[in-house]
A and B are shown apart, each in its own frame.
Chain A
Amino acid sequence: MSLLQPFNKLPSLNTANILLVENEEQFQQSLADALVEESSVIVNVRLAKSLPVPTENETSRPRIDLVVFIINLTSELSFESAEASLKYLDCGYFLGKVCFLVTNARSVSVPAERLDAVRKLAALFHCPLLFVEDQTADGVASAAERLLTILKVAAGHVPITTSLYMSILAQCTVPPDIDQPSFD
């Protein structure tokens, strides 16, 4: 069983590599197109349905700077698949090189427990949790922009900042009364 390692390869010049993991394989396509258009940095996007990644690609795969798990809140399978994929990452990734992206959080059919469960998961691993909108072009563009800020830090392109510093600022926290029933 091969874990994805954060530092076992050499980085390339002016390049940032990102891995998008999504069970439905829908949003990652449009997000990848938006990310690749960035001009100041060469962005390589790898797409996967779940981890572990196949070992055949080991030699051709560059060093992954940021792993993003895309969870569709309306589907329980999406959350479970993301949770199951977490164990195939080396623990070095959890120092700021993992990010959770959540779509459809405003949908009526989402049970509140699932959102709480995602928040607890993100807080447990000290990772940032972003809420994005995937249906419109504007939503995809703004999601790509936010991801690029985190990616540039994780790839070391921003001076005086490392992903560990960023994670202290950007990590998800749960309020202490998250398990109490809310008033609505």
Chain B
Amino acid sequence: MGDATKRLLQRLIRRTRIQMLKTTLEKWDRLTLAQRQSMVFIQSKSAITEKLLSICEENEWTVKHIAELEMIHVMDNPNQGMWYAFRLMDPEDDAHSVELMQFKEQFKSLLHELVRHVSVKIKKHADEAIWIRIAWGDGFSQPNHLKPTYVVHYLQTPFVFVTSITSKQKPLLSQALTVSTRHQDLKNANLSGRKLTAIRDLLMQQYPQVFPTNFPGHTAENNQMESNPRRVKEQAGLEADRLRMAHKAFGDGMLPELESAVYELETKFNGHANGTMTDREQPFRCVVKFTSTNLLESLRQCASSGIVSTVTPLFSSIPRSGKNYFVITNKSHGSSSKTSNITEPQILDSKD
């Protein structure tokens, strides 16, 4: 049994919890009945590792089998590692009729053409997503299964989510994806996070959306009627206004659990205290990062509890445009820039 196989299996067992390992092995379904009964999951991890390694020898599993096991595990626990979202641009005419088998064959053959040694596995998840596991090698060495790239794509949509890819590998993946899905280009969607489910829901807008209406319902007033008449809120009107403003920006259902938002500022320094900084012509570079366990929910509560007086477009553009990386520059005026008026900051797409 290969050294690579052993190492991959050991690393997989080390990184997963014992309960999770049990369910994953059951799903994988390559252990015989006798072997399954002989595995006792109450033991320590090292004992389980020994047992599994011996079963692996018995069944003569190769690195491909273990890669499949790892893929099943990652498909069930997608909320680990950093995921980056990409968007396919400029579809050709037949982009909407790309089928699964056609995509699979084309993608595999293209990638094998581009890279001499590469190992590709494609699986379809229950919710119509296509999961691709790529182990990269180069002209001289075998594919490295310890650093695989996972790609999730929803067929016939322009959304792609990728984890752990280097800058050298990205153009190869980009070319294979664009040709096999009949688009022209793969662009960065400026959205990244640790939870795949969250960034997928945000980008594909699969959470309760906000629809502008002229006649909003009176749910807040109804709640007030039911509560104790001896306990009265003095500023109920103001509170209802704040709640309405928060709901207008973020909706009133569950929000995807985004974890961070990064704003890169390239604006002129506008403070009054520091004269030397204000006189500089170059923009003041600064990065502001917001992190939270559930960023959108906390922003909504900031607005509804009155900590923030209005929801600025900086915050409301996160759910609206499905991004969490923004570059803010000053709007450039045609007239002279010697005047010290505060110019309006505007949000641009980031470079590339």
Contact = CB atoms under 8 A, between A and B. Distances in A.
Interface of A: 19, 24-25, 32-33, 36, 42-49, 53-54, 56-57, 61
Contacts of B228: 36
Interface of B: 228, 230-235, 237-239, 305-306
A54 B238 contact: yes
Contacts of B237: 54, 56
A45 B235 contact: no
Nearest to B307: A77
A46 B234 contact: yes
Nearest to A61: B234
Contact of A47 (B233, B238, B305, B306): B233
A49 B230 contact: no
Nearest to A48: B234
A54 B232 contact: no
A61 B238 CA distance: 17
Contacts of B239: 49
Contacts of A42: 230
21 contacts: A24-B305, A25-B305, A32-B231, A33-B231, A36-B228, A36-B231, A44-B230, A44-B231, A45-B230, A45-B232, A46-B233, A46-B234, A47-B231, A47-B232, A48-B233, A48-B234, A49-B238, A49-B239, A54-B238, A56-B237, A57-B234
Nearest to B306: A49
Contacts of B235: 48-49, 53-54
A36 B230 contact: yes
Contact of A46 (B232, B238, B306): B232
A76 to B, nearest CB: 13
Given A46-B233, A46-B234, 8 more contacts: A25-B305, A36-B230, A44-B231, A45-B232, A49-B238, A53-B235, A54-B234, A54-B237
A53 to B, nearest CB: 5
A37 B43 CA distance: 55
A51 to B, nearest CB: 9
B232 A44 contact: yes
A56 B305 CA distance: 21
B230 A47 contact: no
Nearest to B239: A49
Residue of A19, A36, A49, A53 with highest tally of chain B CB at under 10 A:
A49
A69 B341 CA distance: 42
A43 B230 contact: yes
A40 to B, nearest CB: 14
A173 B270 CA distance: 45
B305 A53 contact: no
Contacts of B232: 44-47
A7 B306 CA distance: 32
A4 to B, nearest CB: 10
A22 to B, nearest CB: 12
Contacts of A48: 233-235
B309 to A, nearest CB: 13
A96 B232 CA distance: 23
A49 B305 CA distance: 10
